[in-house]
Amino acid sequence: MRILNHRFNSEGELRRKLEMKEFARDVIETTIERLRRERWLDDGRFATAYVRTRVRKGIGLLRIKRELVAAGVESDTIAHALDESVPDHDERAAALVSARKRLAVLLRRDDDASIREKLVAYLFRQGYDSSVAVDVVRELMAYRSRDDQWAPLG
């Protein structure tokens, strides 16, 4: 119960934590079954809350999926959580917001040549699809710097 007091856990995460604490396998199974029955442990609810939280932080759907798989959540539960939590999510718009924030940091310390590469790498790490990342960076780089302000070309 102490583990669950800190945050929601998936069944897989809780199982790993209990195994690390060297609880007997039958104790772990009995505990997980009881927690599931009493609704303290619910991978669907965990995944839905996790998706909403990570999307709000600007994390891409690919990274969220990877993190949920690593937490031991089944793929159909992940798909359901994504459909339920972010049905009208605009991945490109989210990537653009994330890239603009990162661009502000890069402009202070890097030259134009390295900014493009660093922005694309950043978006990949954030979990955005490669085509979305390249497209967003191409759009941002279509602007040029004028007195530390990025203004449209033309």
Q: Which pLDDT belongs to residue 88?
A: 85
DSSP 89-100: --HHHHHHHHHH
CA distance 65 to 83: 12
CA distance 136 to 122: 12
The single-letter code of the amino acid at 88 is D
3 pLDDT band, cuts 50/70/90, is low
DSSP 20: H
Which three-class secondary structure state does DSSP give residue 56? helix
Check if the beta carbon of residue 44 is closer than 8 Å to that of residue 81. Answer: yes
CA distance 18 to 15: 5
| Percent share of the chain, pLDDT over 70 | 88
Phi, psi of 106, deg, nearest 5: -65, -35
Token pair listed for 152: 């449209």
CA distance 58 to 31: 35
Taken in order 124, 49, 43, 15, is the CA torsion positive or negative?
Answer: positive
Phi, psi of 36, deg, nearest 5: -65, -45
For tokens 């085509």, the residue is 131
Q: Which pLDDT belongs to residue 151?
A: 45
pLDDT at 34 over 80: yes
